[in-house]
Structure 1
């Protein structure tokens, strides 16, 4: 069923300045999370809609050219943050001009360094931080020129051998 047969959803999303795929994060203390993302990653707040009890039902930020939706935890509706769940299997990936500086800025704002930024076999300077709300962020700067598939496979094999102690 198409709700608006005259306009494709991709066109509507483009007019709104949003992507067709948008992460939606549940955060313990969403207002504080918005401020953290502003300080750590340069996010801009787009909007926030508080509920009657003051918790944020919905908020949106623009981050690195994309939109991220957020809300406070609502355990009574099944909405829990990584802090309530004891971790997250999801990593949000940011491509930036300077991964070292971006990771340092996130740590200075209160993120925990999970993996220091370093050269990776696939061709990025790459590291991982966990924000104070339990969400994990990978931060990468591509190193050019890109590797050929053969170079990538050889680099993968060498990295896997090194990781296994060989």
Structure 2
């Protein structure tokens, strides 16, 4: 089974710059001006242009909702593992990310919480030692 991650954005070129220049992903295919595939993560990420105020679904529960690219919370977010978290955070901020949780030390490494320019939350992680295995089997 393949997992594809879809991210709605309201400015395709800004989104491409944020995810390629900010995180080091590469443009795969450009299907149309409103659909760009990004490669370089564990799963392809599809940037989908959808205008602010448009409805994400036509009917049923949630159909009264409209797209809003201000900061919003959802129980799903993306974690990007990086080699140098300080450089990644600085780069992402340069491309429009808002730092919401400064770099914090954990037993498994370091984490920072950000929001992309489209209101989506994301974390960057820098593992140390055995990464998450440090939680399961501490020294």
TM value normalised by structure 2: 0.76
Is the Cα contact below 8 Å between 2:5 and 2:43 reproduced in 1? no
- How many pairs are equivalent? 127
User: 1:82-111, CA deviations, whole angstroms, 9 ceiling, x for partnerless residues?
Assistant: 516x51313111011112211111112221
The yes-or-no answer on 1:60 pairing with 2:37 is yes
Counterparts of 1:83-122 in structure 2, within 5 Å, are 83=69, 87-89=72-74, 90-121=76-107
| 1:121-154 deviation line (CA, Å, top 9, x unaligned) | 4x121011111111111000112144253759xx
> Are 2:17 and 2:95, in contact at CA under 8 Å, matched by a contact in 1?
no
Unaligned stretches of 5+ in structure 1? 1-9, 11-19, 153-166
**Structure 2: stretches of 5+ with no match in the other structure:** 59-65
Say whether the 8 Å CA contact 2:77–2:121 is kept in structure 1: yes
Q: Which has the higher contact order (CA 8 A, sep 6+)?
A: 2
In structure 2, the residue corresponding to 1:66 is in which secondary structure? Answer: coil
CA radius of gyration, larger in: 1
1:82–1:88 CA contact under 8 A, matched in 2: no
Indicate if the aligned counterparts of 1:126 and 1:141 stay in contact, CA closer than 8 A: yes
Does 2:134 correspond to 1:147? yes
Distance 1:147 1:76 in 2: 43
* 1:132 corresponds to: 117
Residue 28 of structure 2: which of 43, 46, 52 is its match? 46
Misfit runs of 4+, over 2 Å: 63-66, 76-82, 145-152
Q: TM-score, normalised by structure 1?
A: 0.65
Q: Which one has a larger percent helix, Structure 1 or Structure 2? A: 1
